[in-house]
Amino acid sequence: PVLVVDFGAQYAQLIARRVREANVYSEVVPHTTTVDEIAAKNPAAVVLSGGPSSVYAEGAPQLDPRLFDLDVPVFGICYGFQAMAQALGGTVAHTGTREYGRTELSVDGGILHGGLPTLQPVWMSHGDAVTDAPAGFEVTGTSAGAPVAAFENRERKLAGVQYHPEVLHSPHGQQVLSRFLHDIAGIGPTWTAANIAESLIGKVRDQIGDGHAICGLSGGVDSAVAAALVQRAIGDRLTCVFVDHGLLRAGEREQVQQDFVSATGAKLVTADAVEVFLRELEGVSDPEEKRKIIGREFIRSFEGAAAQVVAENGAGVDFLVQGTLYPDVVESGGGAGTANIKSHHNVGGLPDDLEFELVEPLRLLFKDEVRAVGRELGLPEEIVGRQPFPGPGLAIRIVGEVNQHRLDLLRQADAIAREELTSAGLDKQIWQCPVVLLADVRSVGVQGDGRTYGHPIVLRPVSSEDAMTADWTRLPYEVLERISTRITNEVAEVNRVVLDVTSKPPGTIEWE
């Protein structure tokens, strides 16, 4: 792999993603990883990420110069660039000029920047600067605050830049990173969806051997792709379990039952738990209480279905498949290794008396890669391109008590909104658009010839990159108008459609 050494800034994961976008496999490792540990991983290259603003800062992570004795290609970025310069005998100094944000870079030849515009915008974030490049390095970029803003040494396969090539504000950044990987380090572009799928299927086969596995399907992208990979690896020895809690949107159960099964040929068991969920939710309007009940009942249903699969399967079921992704793995501090608390939460936690070994085929992948692998495996766009939908489903989109009637109203309104957004071609532009029924609110309207006293529906279209923050999406008025007209005409008891124009923070994406 290409190892991205994380010096503690928020960019390491992004750099790892960009390396993979250049079709080269990468992993993030903490800066505490020793040179011996790095050598043991036999890396194709090492990328040193950004970090604190100064290599002289107190407690700044140090770079062990023995890294350069390994004869491995190294690319330094920002702090990593300065640390590299210092370790190789260059000079890093307080120049007095700080550069933060958009800066103009002037480039002159070299492999990294050759043929690119001689003046180009880049994203900087540094106080100190490299003033002298180490011996043997060609300086190919400068900026007002960084006398040496890019350098390279082709023979030793070492290079670096002061700016952040991984962010979109550096428009040529991806190209520069690719040139390092392909042209300086000489690494082939082999990390493709087809190769990823093939290698993951092989790994799953090795792990499961001739054992049996089960997988909870949520209707979301990750569990669908994980299940499809395992199905390819072990065929009918995988059973998928889908819990229908009655809080799904129109067509979702069918999508799992038909689209997923027909694309994969996987064996599917559906746990019909609608009545249980509705009974347990009766009279409950507090959001946290709703979530707790749903979490608890979900585990019970899954447990029941799993126990049944185990009972029917004489040979026993030893493996549980989960769709844990790489960001979860990095955030919980592990690279290799087995189960952690977080991945258990993905199926809502499992009881102690059902013991499974976890199979997590996606634990080294980013979301985009999961989608690409899903497409490679022939899953339909309706599944791989799906927008996020919360586990507790429509229950947390009904403000007030949840019952069958209210769920039906909300399902209708939601289906209309989705249909219109899709036919207006807006699916890619929005992250998701919760549709919320204010079941405890009534307002006066006039519909047909008479006065009505109905409920409002809230549209909550948001744009986001990771759901941590979000902005409300400026949907075209014509589309809003069509959705509003159709909902008030077609959904009984709804006489008003309102638009949520709150960002996150302060609002969350969901209403509960």
Q: Binding site membership for ATP: which residues? A: 218-224
From 31, 126, 164, 245, the catalytic residue = 164
Q: Are 166 and 92 in contact (CB under 8 A)?
A: no
Nearer to ligand XMP among residue 314 and residue 505 (C-beta): 505
510 binds ligand XMP (CB under 6 A): yes
Secondary structure (DSSP) of 324-349: --HHHHHHTT-SS-S--HHHHHHTT-
- Could you tell me what percentage of the chain is helix, strand and coil, using 3-state DSSP and rounding each to the nearest 5? 35, 25, 40
508 binds ligand XMP (CB under 6 A): yes
How far apart CA 368 and CA 17 sit, in angstroms, is: 9
166 is catalytic: yes
Q: Which helix (H) or strand (E) holds 238?
A: strand 238-244
How far apart CA 20 and CA 255 sit, in angstroms, is: 31
The stretch among 53-61, 103-111, 368-376, 386-394 that binds ligand XMP (CB under 6 A) is 386-394
> What three-state secondary structure class fits 13?
helix
How far apart CA 170 and CA 298 sit, in angstroms, is: 45
473 binds ligand XMP (CB under 6 A): no
How far apart CA 223 and CA 389 sit, in angstroms, is: 13
Q: Are 264 and 228 in contact (CB under 8 A)?
A: yes
Nearer to ligand XMP among residue 165 and residue 392 (C-beta): 392
The stretch among 309-317, 365-373, 390-398, 416-424 that binds ligand XMP (CB under 6 A) is 390-398
Distance in Å, CB of 14 to ligand XMP, minimum: 20
504 binds ligand XMP (CB under 6 A): yes
Dihedral, 85, 86, 90, 92 alpha carbons, nearest 10: 100
**Judging by DSSP bridges, how do beta strands 435-438 and 450-459 pair with one another?**
antiparallel
> What three-state secondary structure class fits 175?
helix
Sign of CA dihedral 47, 50, 56, 59: negative
Nearer to ligand XMP among residue 43 and residue 391 (C-beta): 391
Q: How many residues bind ligand XMP (CB under 6 A)?
A: 10
433 is catalytic: no
Distance in Å, CB of 218 to ligand XMP, minimum: 8
Nearer to ligand XMP among residue 104 and residue 331 (C-beta): 331
Nearer to ligand XMP among residue 162 and residue 223 (C-beta): 223
Nearer to ligand XMP among residue 206 and residue 466 (C-beta): 466
Distance in Å, CB of 197 to ligand XMP, minimum: 25
361 binds ligand XMP (CB under 6 A): no
Q: Are 107 and 122 in contact (CB under 8 A)?
A: no
- What's the half-sphere exposure (Cβ side, CA atoms, 13 Å) at 94? 4
432 binds ligand XMP (CB under 6 A): yes
430 binds ligand XMP (CB under 6 A): no
467 binds ligand XMP (CB under 6 A): yes
Among 188, 388, 408, 485, binds ligand XMP (CB under 6 A): 388
From 27, 152, 166, 297, the catalytic residue = 166
From 27, 78, 369, 376, the catalytic residue = 78
391 binds ligand XMP (CB under 6 A): yes
Q: Are 175 and 181 in contact (CB under 8 A)?
A: no
392 binds ligand XMP (CB under 6 A): yes
Nearer to ligand XMP among residue 154 and residue 504 (C-beta): 504
Distance in Å, CB of 242 to ligand XMP, minimum: 15
Sequence-distant (6+) residues with CB within 8 A of 176 are 112, 113, 116, 161, 165, 170
Distance in Å, CB of 288 to ligand XMP, minimum: 11
The edge-to-edge listing of strands for the beta sheet with 213-217 is 267-272, 238-244, 213-217, 319-321, 357-359
The stretch among 102-110, 121-129, 349-357, 504-512 that binds ligand XMP (CB under 6 A) is 504-512
343 binds ligand XMP (CB under 6 A): no
List the binding residues: 218-224
The stretch among 37-45, 158-166, 268-276, 383-391 that binds ligand XMP (CB under 6 A) is 383-391
Nearer to ligand XMP among residue 285 and residue 508 (C-beta): 508
> Of 311, 316, 302, 297, whose CA–CA distance to 241 is shortest?
302
Among 160, 390, 456, 461, binds ligand XMP (CB under 6 A): 390
Among 256, 350, 362, 509, binds ligand XMP (CB under 6 A): 509
Burial code of 112-131, b = ≥16 C-beta within 10 A, e = fewer? bbeebeeebbbbbbbbbbbe
Distance in Å, CB of 253 to ligand XMP, minimum: 17
112 binds ligand XMP (CB under 6 A): no
Q: Are 433 and 397 in contact (CB under 8 A)?
A: no
> Of 421, 405, 406, 434, whose CA–CA distance to 482 is shortest?
421
216 binds ligand XMP (CB under 6 A): no
Phi, psi of 149 (to 5 degrees): -110, -10
Per CB under 6 A, residues contacting ligand XMP are 388, 390-392, 432, 467, 504, 508-510
Active site residues: 78, 164, 166
